[in-house]
Structure 1
Amino acid sequence: MTARSVRLVHPAPIPHDADEFEAKAAAAVARARAWLPSLDPAVFDCYLGEITREIEPTSEADPVAILATLTSITGVHLGKAPHVTAGDDRHPLLVWPLIIGHTNTGKKGASWSASKRIISSTDSGFAAANIKSGLSSGEGLAEQFAVEDEPDPDEPPRDLRLVAYENEWGGVMAKMRREGNSLSQILRAAWEGGDLSTLTVKARMAPESHVGIVAHITPDEFRAKLSDADMAGGTYNRFLPLAVGWSKALPDSAGADPGLVCSLAARLAERLDQGGRLDRLGFAEDATPLWRQLYLEFNTDAYHPKVAQFVSRALPYCKRIAGIHAALDGAAAIHTTHLQAAAGLVRYSIDSARALFVDTSTPSKLVAWIAQAGEQGRSRKEITRDFFGGNTDRTDIGGILDQLTHADKITRSNRRPEGGKGRSIEIYTAATPPHELNELTN
């Protein structure tokens, strides 16, 4: 019998010292969060932010994922009565977070578990009957709200609330791309909070709905499965993309204390009951100046082309989120603090889309490279050929240049060619002197 050589695989050494474990864990968490954009702490200056801060110390989930999940679920729980308006359009308080995190270090499932535990304790009946999974087709979703006859005025109104939790959104994306699948179309109608009726061979009447979606996916899978047609179709600008990552290493955590959960749930139940009785939520006097600033900030196309398509509904989202914060405070009008928290989350969503589609280090390096040319600047041709190596799509380059120009990082001008003949040359110069940009090239 021939002896076989056996190769011994030695596992990584187990840190025995508590300090050593903490150091290794901190380094691992830092690596997991390296791709995330910065987050304005103002997003937690709201009631749901207070709940998040109470429970996040015992969860490895990203606090922003817990906050966004609670925002989505409470917006559905509040029902159709409280709403905001944009011109003649009525906007229900529906928020659809797309939680984007890596498989092992995104801790997406932990954010759902922490949020659902709070909601289940707040309203166990709602959690059992109104939270479902399994989006597959437009007809299937419409069937949830289908009616056969005129409603009986003597019967209690139907419960139109539905939270669709999809922890494998990539599978839903694949189904939506099948020929004849109407899910994308029905989802666009559902975001409006309206009519999901279908005029197929088996027509369904579903005049009302109130649907929230909490979707999870990895960055790589989303980029791989998202086509230009998907973006142009308008389905994904109904979602709020949020980049998330492992927040802390808690190998021995048993979750939030049951007493704390019960206390938080009792207070949340009172606020949901009070907020659900509200109607249209306008702006309080103190919020009007800030809203006008946000109107100009978010009403722009100064983004990378893919980012611009993703976040084109930033304005109504800001209003919807602020409306949820106001309703949970029992306020009949949106105040400055509500808007500040909402705007912070929307900005993080925009930056998350950038992190997803754009190498976020490239713009800073480009500014530094342009600055090295001093007042002479760099031509568009030089940027395309020398900085990007001639192998980057012109549209992508244009999006980055537009983004930096609108952010006042660089300035654009036109220069006549030598000899004065021919088309003018597009020149970019840095707004900051080169010696102040050294850190950007490190």
Structure 2
Amino acid sequence: MKAIVALYDAEHVVELCAIGPQTRKSSLWGNEFAGGKKAIVAGWFRDKQALAELAVRLDAEAKPEGVYVTLNPVTPALLGRADHRLKAGVGRTQDSEALCLCNLLVDVDPARPSGISSSEPEKMAAHDVAQRIAAHLTHLGWPEPLAADSGNGWHLVYKIDLANTPESVMLVKGVLKALAARFDTGEATVDQSVFNPARLVKLWGTMARKGDHTVERPHRASAIVDVPGHSAPVPRALLEAFAAQAGADATPRHALPAPTAADPGGRFDVRAYLERHGRGLKKEKPFKGGMLYVLEECVFDPGHAHGEAAIYQAADGRLSYQCFHASCRGRTWQEARQRISSDAPLGAGNVAATPGPASQQPEEWTPLLVPWPTFSPQAHPGIAGAFIELATRGSEADPAAVLATFLTRFEVEVSGNGVLKGPGMYLGETRHYPRLFTAIVGASSKARKGTSAHPVNALFSPEGLPDNSDNPDNSFPSPAATSSGPLSTGEGLAFCVRDARTEWVIDKKTSAGSWVLVDPGVEDKRLYVADEEFASALQCTKREGNTLSTAVRCFWDSGDYSPMVKKERTKVTGAHVGIVTHITFQELRALLDEVQAFNGFGNRFLWVCARRHGMVAFPRRMPQDELSRLRREVSRLVDIGQRREEMTWDGSAEDLWRTVYPRLSREHPGLAGCIINRGEAQAVRLAMIYALLDGQGHIGVAHLQAGLAFWEYCRASALFIFGSRETNPLAERIRGALAGGPMTTTALHRALGNNASREKLREALQELLTAGHINKTEEKTTGRPKAVFTLNEQTENNELSPAGSMSDNS
């Protein structure tokens, strides 16, 4: 129903269509035979509730390749063909029968053989392109789109308000053409054929069933990922301005894009500009009446260092940038200039004497915006998805923040109420427990980051559960202890889950000694901390002698804490602490440089970006009957989970884990790397929790995929928050230089322009060796052995972009 409400007004008539049903005769369409190589059944509806209910049955019972609706509303006269019912072999809606053009579909498809489902890496390549498109159009002033997971690719839907005329159709076609020209890669493309008025679009919430279902290419549910709070149509002027780019941008992939305007006051001296900013020039050569400056390495990716990147200066002085790699498709001179010299003015030292066209002004620079992370429906299957839908139905709470809070609270409850009780699993000699620490980061109070806690608290409240005190064998598990914080010291956190403490006491009369219990400690070692002020905790870690950072690491790693102090030592054994804490982007940025201990415990947290989810003037309570049903089911799952001990993998999940493990365990440099370098441990913990939510004691493929999906959101959130501080530029330049083949230290120093000190070069090489990005061997000479460095090809092949697939976790 959510998809239908997002696309149409209440009075609109729309076509419902199923393509390729596995059942050719069904009571859903009057037991008529649906013939043809790819059978079609269709009907027309004004009653959207009736459409939604029939679509659910159609998807579940007939199992078609896909269930679709028309992108735009259609003429009500079509109700005469099949009025609120399905019919086999009926003629579909024609373009002339669409009332208007009210939705513009950007359908990003991954490149793959036809007739099969996409793999996860293929699908996430489409996701990467969709994110770039959304960020670019938002920067141009377009309203935010509806974003949806189509099952095999990604959809963006923008509201438009155009009459169904040939001119409007050509305008939509031009927009899609311009998008394809700018954003298509070898891995994913914008479907330019979806411009026609009667176009079908996946009815989100139904399954995508192309080809056979396999582990690598599964059938998946489509889903709406994000609905904008305000759905104003894109102004026609913006559509026309963007469509006008279609002719200029529709160049072959390996052709140079149209140059941009030269800077006024003279012809720009590209060679001097590159020398001034330390960019290596491989060669320059005449090209199409202008000059081509081939760079030693791409300004966006130093790994593109084989003559693929160049700056082109046309005869009239205009400039353009091109790199032949798919990941750099669509990059402009303005973006390249920003990377090379930031916002520094192009001074006289960069201008040659040859005059250029003074009337032309430089184009406005378009900043490289990091897109907001995409919350995949795979991250909330089953009961988690049911609760997220209920909790956000009449609220502004962010679904990802609600899920993070729900998972953290559930894992605390399920972990048993004694030392080392509850589920866990060994990887090697290390035992992992389903234990999470979560930091929710929002722009401000308007992100409603705190509202994620309220529905979770209501769910885990014992209110509404039956009183089974007379029958202990049928009782519901007792809840864990909770604390609202604030987090301040390690000792304070440890005190809440402390062990019993005894002291050796000497009897003054008899001089005999004995152990005396002075503190009974805490028997139930579970503690759920819901802290609203992470900024305060970060401030506390600056204080000399503060142990909060150490305690956080200990409680995440093992649950044991035993500081080495002389008196009244607070010892903890086998505790299970779960933390959900909140902070704003502004607070985090202000404290980040000041908190020296931050990197010590930052990667124990899952970082979750949260923002206001729509505008709800009168938030509604969750329906109590639905909440009670979920509460009873969650309590049942907690009870089952507490009885688990050793969890295991099933065979297919083991195979998938072997595939994703190299990417999950890869080291990342810089601050963002410190935040996401525990990807493999976080993914395992999440997979265990999803298995327990499914009532299982083993991790299956679906559980691991759900864990990877939510880890991908957390990883993308971390890169959104910390990404600008991620990389060591010198380390990246070394990797780019080594892409051309093995090098000695001397050769590397020369390749870096002889401007890196020996100490800086040594530090960067050590960083890359430690992370496993490069290898070092020694070459015998007549004197001292010569160190030779090469790229680690396995690591490089596993490394994807920050918006990479959910399998590419760090």
Range class of TM-score, shorter chain: 0.7 to 0.9
Match of 1:75 among 397, 403, 411: 411
Residue 260 (structure 2) aligns with: none
Question: Which whole-Å CA distance do the structure 1 matches of 2:672 and 2:540 have between them?
Answer: 24
> Superposed, which structure 2 residues align to 1:146-295 within 5 Å?
146=498, 147-149=500-502, 158-200=523-565, 201-227=567-593, 229-232=596-599, 234-295=600-661
Contact between 2:535 and 2:587, CA under 8 Å: does it hold in 1?
A: yes
Query: How far apart are 1:415 and its partner, in Å?
Result: 11
The SS at the match of 1:358 is helix
Residue 101 (structure 1) aligns with: 442
Residue 44 (structure 1) aligns with: 380
- Alpha-carbon distance change, 263 to 401 in structure 1, aligned in 2, over 3 angstroms: farther
- Alpha-carbon distance change, 127 to 169 in structure 1, aligned in 2, over 3 angstroms: farther
Instruction: Tell me, yes or no, if structure 1 residue 343 matches structure 2 residue 692.
Output: no
| Bigger Rg, which one | 2
Match of 2:494 among 136, 142, 157: 142
Partner AA of 1:322 in structure 2: A
* Bigger RCO (CA 8 Å, 6+ sep): 1
Residue 369 (structure 1) aligns with: none
Contact between 1:415 and 1:425, CA under 8 Å: does it hold in 2?
A: no
Query: How far apart are 1:401 and its partner, in Å?
Result: 7.3
Instruction: Tell me, yes or no, if structure 1 residue 321 matches structure 2 residue 686.
Output: yes
Residue 26 (structure 1) aligns with: 230
Structure 1: 5+ residue runs without aligned partners? Answer: 1-18, 360-392, 427-442
Match of 1:120 among 461, 467, 491: 461
The SS at the match of 2:492 is helix
Query: How far apart are 1:332 and its partner, in Å?
Result: 1.5
Structure 2: 5+ residue runs without aligned partners? Answer: 1-158, 160-226, 233-368, 416-420, 466-476, 503-514, 754-810
Count of residue pairs brought into register by the alignment:
357
Contact between 1:60 and 1:248, CA under 8 Å: does it hold in 2?
A: yes
Deviations 1:324-365 (A, max 9, x none): 111222211100010001001111111111111235xxxxxx
The SS at the match of 1:308 is helix
Deviations 1:253-288 (A, max 9, x none): 222111111111011111110111101111111211
Deviations 1:282-304 (A, max 9, x none): 11112111111221121112x45
Partner AA of 1:225 in structure 2: L
Partner AA of 1:94 in structure 2: R
More helix by share: 1
Residue 672 (structure 2) aligns with: 307
Question: Which whole-Å CA distance do the structure 2 matches of 1:199 and 1:122 have between them?
Answer: 42
Contact between 2:563 and 2:569, CA under 8 Å: does it hold in 1?
A: yes
Partner AA of 1:313 in structure 2: R
- Alpha-carbon distance change, 425 to 103 in structure 1, aligned in 2, over 3 angstroms: closer
Partner AA of 2:596 in structure 1: A
Query: How far apart are 1:239 and its partner, in Å?
Result: 0.3
Question: Which whole-Å CA distance do the structure 2 matches of 1:84 and 1:350 have between them?
Answer: 23
Question: Which whole-Å CA distance do the structure 2 matches of 1:395 and 1:190 have between them?
Answer: 29
Instruction: Tell me, yes or no, if structure 1 residue 85 matches structure 2 residue 438.
Output: no
Contact between 2:686 and 2:707, CA under 8 Å: does it hold in 1?
A: yes
Partner AA of 1:61 in structure 2: A
Identity of aligned residues (%): 26
Query: How far apart are 1:205 and its partner, in Å?
Result: 2.6
Question: Which whole-Å CA distance do the structure 1 matches of 2:427 and 2:727 have between them?
Answer: 31
Question: Which whole-Å CA distance do the structure 2 matches of 1:94 and 1:166 have between them?
Answer: 17
Query: How far apart are 1:45 and its partner, in Å?
Result: 2.1
Contact between 1:145 and 1:206, CA under 8 Å: does it hold in 2?
A: yes
- Alpha-carbon distance change, 137 to 254 in structure 1, aligned in 2, over 3 angstroms: same
Partner AA of 1:137 in structure 2: T
- Alpha-carbon distance change, 49 to 397 in structure 1, aligned in 2, over 3 angstroms: farther
Match of 1:397 among 729, 754, 767: 729
Contact between 2:436 and 2:685, CA under 8 Å: does it hold in 1?
A: yes
The SS at the match of 2:230 is helix
Residue 48 (structure 2) aligns with: none
- Alpha-carbon distance change, 151 to 57 in structure 1, aligned in 2, over 3 angstroms: farther
Residue 54 (structure 1) aligns with: 390
Contact between 1:65 and 1:99, CA under 8 Å: does it hold in 2?
A: yes
- Alpha-carbon distance change, 202 to 422 in structure 1, aligned in 2, over 3 angstroms: closer
Contact between 2:482 and 2:528, CA under 8 Å: does it hold in 1?
A: yes
Contact between 2:485 and 2:529, CA under 8 Å: does it hold in 1?
A: yes
Query: If the length of structure 1 is used for normalisation, what is the TM-score?
Result: 0.72
